[in-house]
Amino acid sequence: MLLDHYTLLPERSPLHDAPILWCRSTGTTMDDARLLGDKLPSGAVLVTDEQTSGRGRGEGRVWHAAAGENLLFTLLVDDADAVPEGSHAVGSVPLRAGLAVATAAIELGAATGAVWIKWPNDILIHGAKTCGILCEGRGGRIHIGIGLNLNQERFAVESAAFPPTSLALATGRRHELRAVLVLLLDLLRRDLRDSDWRRRVEARLFRDGVTCADGSSGRIAGIGDHGELLVARSDGSTLRVLQPDQVAYASRSSSSGDKQ
């Protein structure tokens, strides 16, 4: 049985005092959440030291993380625990989860002005990717998968427009995985239901030039009520972007500085 693959940790999730389950290695915690979801309460967490089939947003995208060096987990929450009261904006869950990750990074020592939320699901520090967030809705429940580069210092890919980095590289010190997990879960409990999420996301939103799918250019103007990206195009119109493949960010290197 898959659940036997996991060990119950002494720490508890701040959401409903639900269990936190750990395993040394698995395919992905998101896949496990899909199989175990109906056996676990809202607020439960699946965390692992290693994912052998980690993936990012979109078909064919892979998430590489060194075993035991990073925080890899999936939080299982009912829809009611994932959105502000009276809201149905589940499409903004990755951004609200991103708020929690960004806040945790700053509390752990990252420079406040260097931490940005890149729509739709990444956290950047000094222009380099530190965290990816993957969310899936399944029958009234949302699985929030978070891959946070915590202590890894060497990465195989360094030539990407947004090359990888880690919190250890950004802060100059290593971090204890379980302590960061508990901190992040507490921030998720708060930020997932924060009715002021849009203002807070826009205050930390990575704003850059983009090229739209029709070939037009524009700049990021903000976030819509449902988490869509608002792009101010050069012709004066505003494009509401729902899917990442509708825009491409301007190519940039990690040494080009931070943008606001």
pLDDT of residue 91: 86
What token pair was written down for 60? Answer: 């064919």
pLDDT of residue 256: 38
Matching residue, tokens 């983009």: 210
Cα–Cα distance measured from residue 21 to residue 162, given in angstroms and rounded to the nearest whole number: 32
pLDDT category of residue 257 using cuts at 50, 70 and 90: very low
The overall average pLDDT reported for the chain is 89
Q: Which of 13, 12, 46, 9 is nearest to 31 (CA)?
A: 46
Cα–Cα distance measured from residue 58 to residue 163, given in angstroms and rounded to the nearest whole number: 18
Whether residue 58 has pLDDT greater than 80: no
Cα–Cα distance measured from residue 179 to residue 167, given in angstroms and rounded to the nearest whole number: 14
- Domains of the chain in sequence order: 2-203 (3.30.930.10), 209-256 (2.30.30)
Cα–Cα distance measured from residue 243 to residue 34, given in angstroms and rounded to the nearest whole number: 23
Can you tell me the mean pLDDT for 26-38?
92
pLDDT of residue 215: 87
Half-sphere exposure of 164 (CA within 13 A, CB side): 20
pLDDT category of residue 125 using cuts at 50, 70 and 90: very high
pLDDT of residue 87: 73
- The answer to whether 73 and 137 have CB atoms below 8 angstroms apart is no
Cα–Cα distance measured from residue 172 to residue 189, given in angstroms and rounded to the nearest whole number: 28
What token pair was written down for 47? Answer: 């965390």
Can you tell me the mean pLDDT for 244-252?
81
Can you tell me the mean pLDDT for 32-43?
92
pLDDT of residue 56: 52
211 DSSP β-pair partners: 217, 248
Helix (H, G, I), strand (E, B) or coil at 75: strand
pLDDT of residue 254: 35
Tell me how far the alpha carbon of residue 28 is from its chain's centroid: 15
Q: Which amino acid is at 193?
A: R
- The answer to whether 34 and 56 have CB atoms below 8 angstroms apart is no
Task: State pLDDT tens for residues 67-114.
Answer: 889 999 999 999 999 988 877 678 899 999 999 999 999 999 999 999
Give the range among 49-58, 143-152, 166-175, 229-238 with minimum mean pLDDT.
49-58
Q: Give the rounded percent of residues in the chain with a pLDDT score beyond 70.
A: 89
Can you tell me the mean pLDDT for 182-200?
96
Whether residue 8 has pLDDT greater than 90: yes
Task: State pLDDT tens for residues 148-159.
Answer: 999 999 987 655
Segment 113-116 long-range contacts (CB within 8 Å, at least 24 positions apart): 113/258, 114/170, 114/258, 115/204, 116/204, 116/205, 116/206, 116/258, 116/259, 116/260
Whether residue 251 has pLDDT greater than 70: no
